[in-house]
Structure 1
């Protein structure tokens, strides 16, 4: 099957159908936060009576409100109540550890020990609705557990997520706990906090310490569970922010009060700060607490940018003499006289210097005012900017230096916050976007609409039949038994297969049936596609087949591969055994095991005959055109009748072939080895193998006991312990089977038409950047550069979706599925109907002209593609979403996201495979010998670079620099072209305002977003599979390899020569 290069690997079902896979110091500007709205007050209210209370209802702070509730929020511009009432049962459910959800904006961990607390937050913010500010896009801000050690960097890291800080004036707090320990706090501006306890506290610590955050920022206000413990101590920490805009480099980022409350002990308040003068600290504290607290400040040296101050309340000591009224009055009088004398001196001096200083002061004030306004205007505070900044900051790990490991720097936070679901073998940004897309598709497929056109109704019927699990269970194995009878039976699950049957059996006819009726390529992969050497016509291709296990390595290697092989054999045995049972045949486990062992031996021989991926990189070597007659004489395959087989396949679409019919053999070495394979195995074993290959793909469409038989194999192969929700399986199947119908539903639901124009504009800019890049290449001569320029500018683009799928008057969509008839009661048969339709649609093309406007993939796909035969790039609607693209987000992020993907796909036209095709999609050598030779030299550098990446997760195997070369060339070229196009955009449009909370310039933001679209984690089992089957390098090395080769990255982050991210030797092709 032909391959369309892309930016990410696709789900297996898509691969089987189309094999499509996505597959100097920089300018720095101070980014000072601004304050778009100020809070008038934030009040924490509660019952003012002392003692412990046990209420029947609990009120917790601002949380992720359900849509139906938030939509009815009052529209007043004043006081907004931001509280949610919860019953005890609801609070227990929501706050349990198992309820933590990445879909929530903020989760509330366990509150055991705090369950008796009652409080609510009332706030007013400059006429803005609190709900709209707090929760603009349903994103989650991460929280951290604070411990009593104030030197941890947690505070500044957490505060970096928040663009605006305000003082919180806490007027009153009352927290009561059901654990017999209560903390009663009145006005924090006066009196100390006391701890009351009716319980005897022994040597053991409280098991459920409570941590309370009171904040005045729009984003967050929540309870948190503290992991810190002190002997018999209860912690409650209000979090307080600075009252004015702060400069990240030289002002306080925030303050944290830590109250270590031991029974009967004084209260110690510790403040964490950054480079803040002592006098300012005292002034700030007095402003916050509105009191004349006597403060003693002790500064400790904490390094260049951090210090710590211990501030103790000064208690009145017994016996200390108080001043009399007369003494106080006399002191005040003396102070006033001194101030008057000092004032006269100052007045005289100021009069003398007034004239000379006036103009200077005026100029200075003007400059300061302009600078202040400039800093305010240099920060973007829109909801999109705040959301983008929060996402970028959440994903980062600032404890890692960007020049040491930029992937860990960019994605460390993401990796820490995301756990691979039990249902998944890999979890990445791509996978999260696909999950969200599937949720959208579930909604539209389950929505009834009388206005639906015929194609849409059929898609919904197919989905409904899949969701009818009770009927699937009721039918059990009956559909499978009917299926195996239609292909000449499954000998191991039958007592009727005998010597007579074997003599009548025909390998050619069985293979033809599998190909034409079930679109199943076993032993041979026959398909119809565009002729590589003539893009105007279709031709028959014959290639080596796929295997039962993911790659040939599973059949020979030890370690995890052997475990998978053993699980695969047990899976084969279990299904054959169940089938015999359901046919009421005598059970003979020893015989079944022996026959399935023979099938595995045959499959191993077939795997051994196939060529590894590293040997199939040069399409010009693979392409071998001959007539049908020449095919018969060259590859006899132990008497195999090629004409009978091919005619048997094409007769299903009424196409006749003659011996002069041309075919392209893509697998000459495989066919040469198959003579020996076929001669070593009996017809019975061969039929068992063919039947098994058909059965294995239908197991998931049967009842639960068949799926359970597959569970051990899947766990060993992928590392997953739980199957996906069945609705997801149904959504994926309908999506892959009826791409355009489902694409129409998705586009109508989510896609903005304006995005097509914006992405098209980006494509044009990056095409020009690629052409300009050609002039930088010393290894390529002028004639070859001109041909490359022509091809780049001739690339055809498909963006979002084909127009006809939304045009109600256009019947093309309905005609595409006119021959399909689905039943809501027969899911299994619906699948077979689809398989037959797909096979016939492909085979019919042999006598049809090539459609140059054909979309090679549907709209509801999170991926992008390049087709060398069409010189076409495709960007489906599914990938045109954050973090890749958002018409409202910074262009640095768009160029670093979808811009890099565009550059990646363009570069596929010039990688080790695409470079063999001209601007019209014909395999034609347009290179000079000089340029071709130097291309190979440049490519070899990357082969060695990526081949040296050792992936510990995959058992310490090295990445294959050969099989991943095409994708690595595309990654390197893509980021280089996107960056060049972005700098050109900045030159024309100017720099954009900084993102809040991010001390990064626009160049660094480009590279940060580029890296973060590749954040992801693998299970070890899937890593072992991916390193052998995926044409892309592992996610981490896609980032590291590309940026290590790019000088502009090292300049943006000032990486020293010879550092990990700025090696001496760099590789570059484009």
Structure 2
């Protein structure tokens, strides 16, 4: 073995002189002699400063050299940590609950001390609150610090990591919209960027919006009322000038009005969608008939007196605005046509007509009754999400025969599809007959008022904030969401979101260039494929799944298409494709309201053009900047937009245990949807078909009921002293998907050795946790969310996802690996005995 290399400050000259050296030679002054001479000289101020700096630098250099030598010695002699503890389904039965987790065997190895690592470690520590026991309340343990430092903005009903990242993404888009157009950009990108920047500027121009006032909304309402009363014109000026003949309400008039509204993406009475025929050919795009969205968030609200009265008052104010519209004397049309409403005795009746105030109040009550009937006739959401119960194919003629108030051939011709449907899939057949009865018994003026209200509720938010309609709708949302009265979002923030929502493919193209470049897509794709492999590897080990079913499940997992980052829309990634999609939009001439309104028309027309065609497997249902992900059963695809592959879920520079605890959990969640209570009913080709054995299905159903019962036992506070239970049936599919976390844990362990050798499993400074614990901490902290009670109630009624605290604690209580990682006692809340666990994937 060679001798150790001398340190850089070793003496290289002899310390003593030999006897034969020239004694007559002039002796060179020593360092100390020179130093003494200098000391005898008077020092200038500059000399003193320089001398001090030299001493400081010499001391600092010595410290760093010592630290480097010591660290190098420890790293060279430290043993490589073993693969994290193997996963097991055994329950830990230790008698103590750890309040401070033990560190890894040697926390000194591979500790990253870069600025980025220090910031990352600090963000994790700032989220953790050690006053909570991780085995009793892991949600609060991992999120309470974040919750305390991120209060809900006054203009929002909730605020969590999802909202925080979405704001960050919109800030990136805002920067793109406000920056000058690059000189080296291509022609189509330049034209597209001009459009999105133009829409952003139109949105920011509040003075212009206030000057325009109610006019854009009233124009749309004029067209809807005109069509309903027998005209065939969609030019609002035709009604102003009296050129559109009116014959009174008819079935054709209702059809024309509804078709116009739906073609502009304004919902009312019913909805149509174009999706695959899951019972025959999932790739054949077919017509689906759905119940409509409601004015209130869900049907339960119509049974609450205080909320329904608040809603009625909002309807009254919106109707008054329309009825009390002032028109110049040059208008050739008295609106509405008299007599209106038809008074007893008709035109010869001498009674005084209702004024706008009385009429608006009377009709608001009738509209509320009308819409309450629609809500009661609608199917409950937990039943509507049942893929078997909601698949009811029938000849299209049946729909026409059972809902005679709508002339469906005329309705469909509005959208100009290339083929006329011969079949329709009705999600809830009883609603068709119920709607027919509701329309049959309703007065024509009530139906018209309902249509007016739907338009106003849908479009008022696009008006200037000084308009009465904008204020009415905003006040209603404040009540429903528990928002601070009068609080509004930052205008630039709002406008960036509106541009993203309206022209999302365009903004998404520029977003990924800023936020998802380099090898981000490749590395994220590898993580997701590792999760899929771990899931397939686990299937034969599941006690409730027999061999035939596990083999089929593995084949289905292999057949799922994975989409990462951004779409290739409509058939290429070219800038021309995106420009072509938005070529009809011109914000400079249409303004903010008109551009957003017209974009709804483009989306609807493109949707209907899919009817009868084969599925386009390149299409996405989300924009690239969206902070979300999804599984589409008939398309057999899981999709992860670039917008969600950001901190706190993912970064290409992070260690694996954090990425798999964050983004890996999301990947496992979406994959597991293919095998949840609804997804499992679709086979490898996306067809609705039973492909598990009866034995496997029966055992699955037992565990599913266990999970539904578990989550139904959780409650939230409504802010009024009442506890509202989670709907375990509605949230069943999402709760099952959340349990997929265990497969991300397994995927992380499988790749650990190679990742460690590559240097991507390094530790962070100041985190006294094992890597297993940090995996679960990464999972828990991402679900931080503060919510106002009113918003929490709204979500629990409408959202198929459980509240975030239960998505964390409920999930982990069914995963024994968590209890083992944190050394939880057998009596700990999140370590229940096996007979009380609902373990599906572990």
The TM-score, its normalising length taken from structure 1, stands at 0.62
Q: Is 1:650 paired with 2:393?
A: no
SS of equivalent to 1:501: coil
Query: Counting strand residues as a fraction of each chain, which structure ranks higher?
Result: 1
SS of equivalent to 1:622: coil
User: What CA deviation, in whole Å up to 9, does each residue of 1:694-719 have, x standing for no partner?
Assistant: 12111111232332223331221111
Q: Is 1:443 paired with 2:175?
A: yes
Per the TM alignment, residue 125 of structure 1 is displaced from its structure 2 partner at its CA by 11
Tell me what 2:302 maps to.
555
Per the TM alignment, residue 799 of structure 1 is displaced from its structure 2 partner at its CA by 0.9
Q: Is 1:811 paired with 2:576?
A: yes
Instruction: Tell whether the 8 Å contact from 2:571 to 2:618 is kept in structure 1 after alignment.
Output: no
Measured on the aligned residues, the alpha-carbon RMSD in Å equals 3.1
Tell me what 1:247 maps to.
none
SS of equivalent to 1:675: helix
Select which of 615, 628, 642 maps to 1:850: 615
Q: Is 1:669 paired with 2:430?
A: yes
Select which of 250, 262, 266 maps to 1:520: 266
Instruction: Tell whether the 8 Å contact from 1:994 to 1:1001 is kept in structure 2 after alignment.
Output: no
Tell me what 2:483 maps to.
720
User: What CA deviation, in whole Å up to 9, does each residue of 1:944-976 have, x standing for no partner?
Assistant: 000001112463111110000011000011x11
Per the TM alignment, residue 123 of structure 1 is displaced from its structure 2 partner at its CA by 12
Tell me what 1:220 maps to.
none
SS of equivalent to 1:697: helix
CA distance in 1: counterparts of 2:570 and 2:271, whole angstroms: 31
Select which of 112, 118, 133 maps to 1:386: 118
CA distance in 2: counterparts of 1:940 and 1:1036, whole angstroms: 21
Instruction: Tell whether the 8 Å contact from 1:861 to 1:876 is kept in structure 2 after alignment.
Output: yes
Alignment of 1:172-183 (within 5 A): none
CA distance in 2: counterparts of 1:665 and 1:125, whole angstroms: 80
Q: Is 1:931 paired with 2:702?
A: no
Tell me what 2:145 maps to.
413
SS of equivalent to 2:675: coil
Per the TM alignment, residue 498 of structure 1 is displaced from its structure 2 partner at its CA by 13
Select which of 347, 370, 378 maps to 1:610: 378
Instruction: Tell whether the 8 Å contact from 1:403 to 1:1055 is kept in structure 2 after alignment.
Output: yes
User: What CA deviation, in whole Å up to 9, does each residue of 1:474-495 have, x standing for no partner?
Assistant: 1111112211111125999x99
CA distance in 1: counterparts of 2:107 and 2:592, whole angstroms: 63
Per the TM alignment, residue 809 of structure 1 is displaced from its structure 2 partner at its CA by 5.6
1:788/1:126 Cα in 2 relative to 1: closer, same or farther (>3 Å)?
Answer: farther
Tell me what 2:201 maps to.
464
Q: Is 1:544 paired with 2:315?
A: no
1:374/1:528 Cα in 2 relative to 1: closer, same or farther (>3 Å)?
Answer: closer
Alignment of 1:285-324 (within 5 A): none
Unaligned runs of 5+ in 1: 1-76, 81-121, 129-163, 165-304, 307-372
CA distance in 2: counterparts of 1:818 and 1:869, whole angstroms: 31
Tell me what 1:802 maps to.
567
Instruction: Tell whether the 8 Å contact from 1:410 to 1:1008 is kept in structure 2 after alignment.
Output: yes
Bigger CA drift: 883-892 or 952-961?
952-961
1:771/1:126 Cα in 2 relative to 1: closer, same or farther (>3 Å)?
Answer: farther
Tell me what 1:623 maps to.
391
Instruction: Tell whether the 8 Å contact from 2:276 to 2:286 is kept in structure 1 after alignment.
Output: yes
Instruction: Tell whether the 8 Å contact from 1:740 to 1:805 is kept in structure 2 after alignment.
Output: no
Q: Is 1:426 paired with 2:158?
A: yes
1:1049/1:685 Cα in 2 relative to 1: closer, same or farther (>3 Å)?
Answer: same
Instruction: Tell whether the 8 Å contact from 2:142 to 2:780 is kept in structure 1 after alignment.
Output: yes
Per the TM alignment, residue 931 of structure 1 is displaced from its structure 2 partner at its CA by 1.3
Per the TM alignment, residue 408 of structure 1 is displaced from its structure 2 partner at its CA by 1.2
1:413/1:127 Cα in 2 relative to 1: closer, same or farther (>3 Å)?
Answer: farther
Q: Is 1:577 paired with 2:313?
A: no
CA distance in 2: counterparts of 1:663 and 1:1032, whole angstroms: 29
Tell me what 1:872 maps to.
637
Q: Is 1:986 paired with 2:729?
A: no
CA distance in 1: counterparts of 2:840 and 2:523, whole angstroms: 29
Unaligned runs of 5+ in 2: 1-49, 68-98, 230-238, 328-334, 336-353
CA distance in 2: counterparts of 1:1042 and 1:458, whole angstroms: 45
Q: Is 1:1032 paired with 2:801?
A: yes
Structure number with greater Rg is 1
Q: Is 1:398 paired with 2:97?
A: no
CA distance in 2: counterparts of 1:694 and 1:1006, whole angstroms: 48
Per the TM alignment, residue 776 of structure 1 is displaced from its structure 2 partner at its CA by 2.1
CA distance in 1: counterparts of 2:473 and 2:575, whole angstroms: 44
Alignment of 1:95-110 (within 5 A): none
Q: Is 1:1018 paired with 2:790?
A: no
Alignment of 1:636-715 (within 5 A): 636-637=402-403, 639-641=404-406, 644-653=407-416, 655=418, 657=420, 661-703=422-464, 704-705=466-467, 706-715=469-478
Per the TM alignment, residue 818 of structure 1 is displaced from its structure 2 partner at its CA by 2.7
Instruction: Tell whether the 8 Å contact from 1:779 to 1:931 is kept in structure 2 after alignment.
Output: yes
Instruction: Tell whether the 8 Å contact from 2:742 to 2:815 is kept in structure 1 after alignment.
Output: yes
Instruction: Tell whether the 8 Å contact from 2:814 to 2:838 is kept in structure 1 after alignment.
Output: yes
The answer to which structure, 1 or 2, has the higher relative contact order (CA under 8 A, 6+ apart) is: 2
SS of equivalent to 1:537: strand
Q: Is 1:909 paired with 2:677?
A: no
Tell me what 2:46 maps to.
none
User: What CA deviation, in whole Å up to 9, does each residue of 1:996-1021 have, x standing for no partner?
Assistant: 21210000000001000001110011
SS of equivalent to 1:921: coil
CA distance in 2: counterparts of 1:535 and 1:504, whole angstroms: 34
SS of equivalent to 1:881: coil
1:809/1:951 Cα in 2 relative to 1: closer, same or farther (>3 Å)?
Answer: closer
User: What CA deviation, in whole Å up to 9, does each residue of 1:736-777 have, x standing for no partner?
Assistant: 122210101111222223111111111111111101221221
User: What CA deviation, in whole Å up to 9, does each residue of 1:760-809 have, x standing for no partner?
Assistant: 11111111110122122111111111110001111111111135799886
CA distance in 2: counterparts of 1:391 and 1:78, whole angstroms: 41
Instruction: Tell whether the 8 Å contact from 1:650 to 1:843 is kept in structure 2 after alignment.
Output: no
Q: Is 1:1001 paired with 2:733?
A: no
Instruction: Tell whether the 8 Å contact from 1:513 to 1:649 is kept in structure 2 after alignment.
Output: no
Tell me what 1:1050 maps to.
819
CA distance in 1: counterparts of 2:665 and 2:58, whole angstroms: 43
Instruction: Tell whether the 8 Å contact from 1:885 to 1:894 is kept in structure 2 after alignment.
Output: yes
CA distance in 2: counterparts of 1:563 and 1:625, whole angstroms: 40
CA distance in 2: counterparts of 1:423 and 1:377, whole angstroms: 46
Query: Counting helix residues as a fraction of each chain, which structure ranks higher?
Result: 2
Per the TM alignment, residue 675 of structure 1 is displaced from its structure 2 partner at its CA by 3.3
CA distance in 2: counterparts of 1:78 and 1:1049, whole angstroms: 58
Instruction: Tell whether the 8 Å contact from 1:527 to 1:541 is kept in structure 2 after alignment.
Output: yes
1:686/1:956 Cα in 2 relative to 1: closer, same or farther (>3 Å)?
Answer: same
Instruction: Tell whether the 8 Å contact from 1:552 to 1:607 is kept in structure 2 after alignment.
Output: yes
Tell me what 1:473 maps to.
210
Bigger CA drift: 443-452 or 897-906?
443-452
SS of equivalent to 2:734: helix
1:491/1:844 Cα in 2 relative to 1: closer, same or farther (>3 Å)?
Answer: closer
CA distance in 2: counterparts of 1:993 and 1:1010, whole angstroms: 18
CA distance in 1: counterparts of 2:537 and 2:250, whole angstroms: 67
CA distance in 2: counterparts of 1:777 and 1:732, whole angstroms: 44
Instruction: Tell whether the 8 Å contact from 2:546 to 2:696 is kept in structure 1 after alignment.
Output: yes
Instruction: Tell whether the 8 Å contact from 1:78 to 1:127 is kept in structure 2 after alignment.
Output: no
SS of equivalent to 1:789: helix
CA distance in 2: counterparts of 1:79 and 1:481, whole angstroms: 78
Alignment of 1:198-217 (within 5 A): none
SS of equivalent to 1:582: coil
Tell me what 1:172 maps to.
none
CA distance in 2: counterparts of 1:124 and 1:593, whole angstroms: 85
